[in-house]
Structures are given as C-alpha cells and as structure tokens.
Structure 1
Amino acid sequence: MIHYQTTILYGLLILWGLTEWFIKNRTKTNGSDNSQDKGTRYVIIISIVLSIAMLNNPFKITILLPEWGIYLGIILMLCGIILRVYAINYLGKAFTLNVQTTDEQELVRSGPYALVRNPAYSGTIISILGLAFVTLNVFSILLVLIVLSIGYAIRIHTEEQALQEHFGNAYHIYCQKVKYRLFPYIW
C-alpha cells in the first residue's frame, strides 16, 4: 500500500461514519408505529459492514489500479456524502431510517427525487465505492459493488411495496416518470 493510502482510507471512513451518526441522530424523532421495514434496515447495515470488510481484501486477490484511483476514491466519497445529505435534507421530516409511511407523508417528486427514486441510497453506494477505489484493488471494488447492489435491491423492493400501498396510483405514475431507482441509465 502507498504510505498515505491507509491514512486517507481511515480518514474517509471516519468522515463517512460521522456523517451517518449525524443523520441517525437527526432522524431519531422520526419514529412511527407503522414500520414496514421487514428487517431491511439490518440488511443494509450488514451489506455496508461486509463492504467495508471487503476493503481489507480478505480473499487476497489483487488487481491494482494506478495511483489516480486514490484521488477518484476521495472525489467519489465526498460526492456520495454530499448527495446523501442533500437527498435526506430534501425529504426533511419524511426521512426515516426504517421503511415506513405516515398519513401526513407526501410523495416527493422534485429535487434529487426527480432524477432517481432513491438518491440517498445512491449517495451511500457512491461513498462506499469511493472507499473501495482508495484501496486501488479492482477486486475489492467489484465485491463492494456486488454486496451493496444485493443489499439495496432487497431494501428498495420492500420500500417500493410500502410506497405503492400507501400512495397507490400516484406512486405508479411517479415510477413511470422517474424510471431509475439509483443511477440514471444504469439502474
């Protein structure tokens, strides 16, 4: 590993952790008895923990990128954090860590939600991929991408069911208008 690579990796991981801690504390009071989460919050936590564990290259398979991957990783991490915080702030009180709906909830269709249906999730994936790029290991990047894709596919499926039940045809129309769940032209 390049001598400053580990320092950058841990620094970004701390920054990401502090951001998530801030988000968790900010949304503490957004609880509801109407949780439809089905354990997907834990699926996401496990997929993120597994992804971070993959940064340590547990399979010892190494396919290295050039050093510019570190700088790309830093940019991805910062952009991912900014996107996640922006998307969460845009939702305001409607944002919760669990999948749930309330009677007062409105379907948000503007801002980042006019581009993709789950921009906060996109931000997390971009952030963790940024960490993976800092390792310069293509194998770690692919593992992180696979693990996060599986975790978020499960979460999004559950969330879409809850939103479809709550908003009915309005959600269906929104999904037709905003076709992509996470990344435009990709997914």
Structure 2
Amino acid sequence: MDYDIAQFEEKLIELSDLERLGFGICLLERALPMFYAFQAETNHAGMGEVMASLAACWKTMEEGRWGEPAFLTSNECEKVMPDSEDYDSFYTSAALDAVDICCSLLDFIHAKDITSIVAATQVQLDTINLATQRLLDEDGVGEDHRLIQGTTSLLSLELNRMQDDLFFLAASSAQSEPLASQLRRRVLELNYRQIELIRRAE
C-alpha cells in the first residue's frame, strides 16, 4: 500500500495553519519512538533539542502565538542530526528523519509556510517505506508470507493513521473543545509513542 505526497498536500491546503501544525505534531509524535530507540542503541546526543522542538510545537498549538521559538532554532536543531555513515543501527535513518521533521516544524512555526509541513510529511513517508523495506529484506523473512503480510500490514497501519490524522484535523473545527485538547487526547489514546515497525506477526 502506498500514498503519493500529492494526496497529503491536497488535504493540507484545506487546513488552517493551526491544523497544519497539528498534523506536524502527529508526524513528530510518531517519529519520536524510533529516535529514542536509536539513542538507546548508540548513546547519540540530541534528546534535548528534539524534545525542545516538540515543546515549541505544543506551546504554539496551545497558545496560538507564532514566531521563532526563543529557546531553539531549526539551525540549532539540525546540528544534532546523526551522520548515517557513523552508525549501523536499524534506526539511524529514522532518527535522522525525526530530526529533519523537527527542523521543518520549527521553520513552520517561524514562517507558517505550508511547504515545511509538506516536507515533513514526505520525510515521514520515506521513513515508513524504508523501515518496512528493511524489515522485509532482513535475513529470515525470505518467502515467509506470514511475516511479509504482518510487515505490510504495519505499513498500511502507519499510512492509514496519517490519513486519519488529516480527517481528524479537518473535522476538529466543528468541535467546541480547543484543538490542542482534542489532539492531546488523540495522541494519548492512540499511543503515538509506541514503535510498531519493529514488530513481527505472531
């Protein structure tokens, strides 16, 4: 199952700036687990910058005040991006992508340019597709259709979640509850910080 970036861009154009930021937060919340796993394996630094980026996004979402976050810029965040040549962890590429998403969201907070959210979306799509392909290529999968089916089901789960996030955000304005509250509950109830793409079918 696959989605073209144009399908997401079409929907993003219809959203408000705050709703676009909400989608960016969903992307980052889903990207964080593999960044954490990468750090646990490699002791790579950068947790402070990544969490500061997430905090800046939530602060803007809650307060509705836009502008350069005083405690972190995208240039500062970019400095903690891991070099793929220095690590052989399964999570290296995903960790790099997580920092890339952070930088794009910080840029969006600063300028409200939709291209920053589109860029973050493309990065997350690349992460999902690459992680899935690597799982399928691992030794032991071979022609085991049960494992292949389980892995491709996880791919569908992640892609469908992204689409559902867009539908959720598009409908959020019809609710009396602030978007920040709706989004917090969604992230919690759907367990966005749980890694799915390392799991195997039983």
Do the structures match in fold with TM over 0.5? no
Higher helix share: 2
**TM-score bracket for this pair, using the shorter chain length:** 0.3 to 0.5
Which fold has the larger relative contact order, with Cα–Cα distance below 8 Å and residues 6 or more apart in sequence?
A: 1
